[in-house]
Amino acid sequence: MEEDSIEQKEPEIKESQIFVIKVTTNKEDRSLELISEKIHKKNLNVFSLARPHGLRGYIFLEAEDRDSAEEAAYNLPYVKGIVGKTVSYDEIKNMIEPVLEEINIEKGDIVEIIGEPFKKEKAKVIRIDKSKGEAVVTLLAAVVPIPVTVKLDNIKVIRREKEAEEEKKEETELETPLEGTPEIKIEEESSGNLIPDDY
């Protein structure tokens, strides 16, 4: 039996391009929603939209061609336009792909808040919720300890509770007299008090 080799042509897949869209700062989420609605309404050849955490004033749009990208972003509030140059996935990969980091913050740690509104404030960790990515802390500068919930990526550890305990232990070891050394007794002289003890 002879097998005939039938050549099938695979459909050509066009290479998509990633465009950078300039939007009003702090309106990235709203801009993303407006662009998404327009893409669905007009059935445009746009494959994905991304608003990376921490990137302000820009949105990434993956489309088949520049015409589709321009149509998606044209004449919308908060959208200022498309940046002239396209970018490759490798250039923006570190902003889009989540990095799985082991959370190394523990209860009792002293942390510095690196996000607003308590930026540069020192705080002590009371509780950690790893599933939500949040920590409950109390600000050290506050007169009354008020619990504040912050995202884990908005705090950094500056001192561990274990390290602080070890430092205290080392200090107390230094304060205790060395073994084998004679203890020096200092007798207090009476200061000639005029007031009797039973007064």
Which residue bears the tokens 């950094």?
156
Q: Per residue in 93-151, pLDDT tens? A: 877 776 555 567 778 888 888 877 777 888 888 888 877 778 888 888 778 888 888 88
- Give a yes or no: residue 2 inside a domain: no
- Give a yes or no: residue 169 inside a domain: no
- Give a yes or no: residue 128 inside a domain: yes
pLDDT at 2: 46
CA distance 141 to 153: 21
pLDDT at 141: 78
Instruction: Please indicate, yes or no, whether residues 41 and 71 belong to a single structural domain of this protein.
Output: yes
CA distance 108 to 126: 6
pLDDT at 110: 84
Residues of the chain predicted below pLDDT 70: 1-14, 98-103, 161-199
Check: CB of residue 66 under 8 Å from CB of residue 17: yes
Number of domains in the chain: 2
pLDDT at 61: 92
Instruction: Please indicate, yes or no, whether residues 43 and 108 belong to a single structural domain of this protein.
Output: no
Check: CB of residue 123 under 8 Å from CB of residue 113: yes
pLDDT at 176: 55
Instruction: Please indicate, yes or no, whether residues 59 and 33 belong to a single structural domain of this protein.
Output: yes
Instruction: Please indicate, yes or no, whether residues 89 and 142 belong to a single structural domain of this protein.
Output: no
Quote the pTM value. Answer: 0.47
Domain span including residue 60: 17-96
